[in-house]
Structure 1
Amino acid sequence: MSYLIAIFWGLGAILLLLGSAIYRLGLISLEIFGYPMSWLHWLALFASLVFMGFSEGYRGFQKGFSPRVASRIYYLTQNPTPLRLLLAPAFCLGLFDVERKRQMITLILIVAIVLVIQVVHLIPQPWRGIIDAGVVLGLSWGVITLLIFTVSAFVSREFEHVPEMPDTVREQHG
């Protein structure tokens, strides 16, 4: 039973969070087509898609977030505790029971994302939609890679990503 709670509560909540952002920002992104678009707008849209696809999708999600979260989901299914199960989404995101450096990086990243969101809200259309289109691409990439890495964590013997638990970090470096 705890195995299912870990997967559905931990992974499910993260997917709902990302999916909600994709939906909301996707609607804002689609608004750009109601505005006259110059070549500069189209160039900015292309640049936003390329930049966010690479930096957020590939580097942020595929190379960092998704394998780490998948590893923590798997770890949680093998090492459940009442607190970890109750706070499975926070555990999977690396907000507790994680090496101190990773915890600080995660918290700083969350604060930075919230601040960037607040600034982007101030930008008028079609520029906001152009930015949000890139974010939607990056988040969509993230959802896909998170699902792929999570399945891989459970079925592949060669899944080598570590959950960055304080004890696994000491074992690696010690």
Structure 2
Amino acid sequence: MKETSVLGRLGAFWGVAGVALLLADALVRLFVHARDAFESDLSPLQWAALAVWVALMTYVEGWRGFHLRFSPRVVARALTIASPAQGRGVRLVDVVLAPVFCMSLYGASRRGVRAAWILLAFIVAFILIVRTLPAPWRGIVDAGVVAGIGTGLCSLLYYATRAVLGRPPVIDPDCG
């Protein structure tokens, strides 16, 4: 493993912790609406929609999106803060903005940054659309998102723990 500085390790920790806090905050906020769906009198069609949506979001968002792509990349990018490229020291801006850096919103390849910002715009648009849904459909949608984000948060903590134990993720941190 490359040499790391205290500032670099702090930046890596802040990067992963900051992203984890963002996910946990979203999880808590959405859980309220998801719980409303379970507490309402759902029809058989709505129960079926809930089951399919939760399963789909757990797989697509949680497994494919978070576990296979986002979470290992966040941890890999955090490790680049801790151990920057040869001849380059830890940059204070990367430490301060570590969660943003780890989400590839800057400091990645042009393609990676563009993909991260497009994904962020899509998420914001999705949130704005879901907010307009009537009950219980908003709760049904939010239940699936909670399942996906919950899987993602667990995945992020899994990859972070493995990295601390000396088994970092094998993924390009540059989103190439």
Instruction: Provide the TM-score with structure 2 as the length reference.
Output: 0.88
* RMSD of aligned Cα (Å): 1.5
**Alignment of 1:118 onto 2:90:** no
For residue 157 of structure 2, the aligned residue among 121, 138, 147 is 147
Per residue, is there more helix in 1 or in 2? 1
For 2:19 and 2:77, the matched residues in 1 are separated by: 12
- Kindly tell me: are residues 10 and 49 of structure 1, through their superposed partners in 2, closer, same or farther at Cα, counting changes over 3 Å? same
Equivalent in the alignment of 1:68:
73
For 1:58 and 1:88, the matched residues in 2 are separated by: 24
Residues 21-64 of structure 1, C-alpha deviations (whole Å, 9 max, x = no match): 10010011111133211100110110111110011001100111
- Kindly tell me: are residues 33 and 50 of structure 1, through their superposed partners in 2, closer, same or farther at Cα, counting changes over 3 Å? closer
Secondary structure at the residue paired with 2:79?
A: helix
**Alignment of 1:13 onto 2:18:** yes
For 1:32 and 1:159, the matched residues in 2 are separated by: 37
Identity value in percent:
35
Equivalent in the alignment of 1:2:
7
**Alignment of 1:22 onto 2:32:** no
Any unmatched runs of 5+ in structure 1? Answer: 170-174
For residue 99 of structure 1, the aligned residue among 109, 125, 136 is 109
- Kindly tell me: are residues 149 and 77 of structure 1, through their superposed partners in 2, closer, same or farther at Cα, counting changes over 3 Å? same
For residue 83 of structure 2, the aligned residue among 71, 78, 84 is 78
**Alignment of 1:161 onto 2:168:** no
C-alpha displacement of 1:82: 1.1
**Alignment of 1:133 onto 2:143:** yes
For residue 63 of structure 2, the aligned residue among 45, 54, 58 is 58
Residues 142-166 of structure 1, C-alpha deviations (whole Å, 9 max, x = no match): 011111112223334574222117x
For structure 1, which segment, 154-163 or 135-144, has the greater mean C-alpha deviation from structure 2 after superposition?
Answer: 154-163
Contact 1:71 1:150 in 2 (8 A): no
For 2:168 and 2:78, the matched residues in 1 are separated by: 16
Any unmatched runs of 5+ in structure 2? Answer: 1-5, 85-89
For 2:133 and 2:17, the matched residues in 1 are separated by: 31
One-letter amino acid of the counterpart of residue 64, structure 1: R
Equivalent in the alignment of 1:40:
45
- Aligned length, in residue pairs: 166
C-alpha displacement of 1:75: 1.3
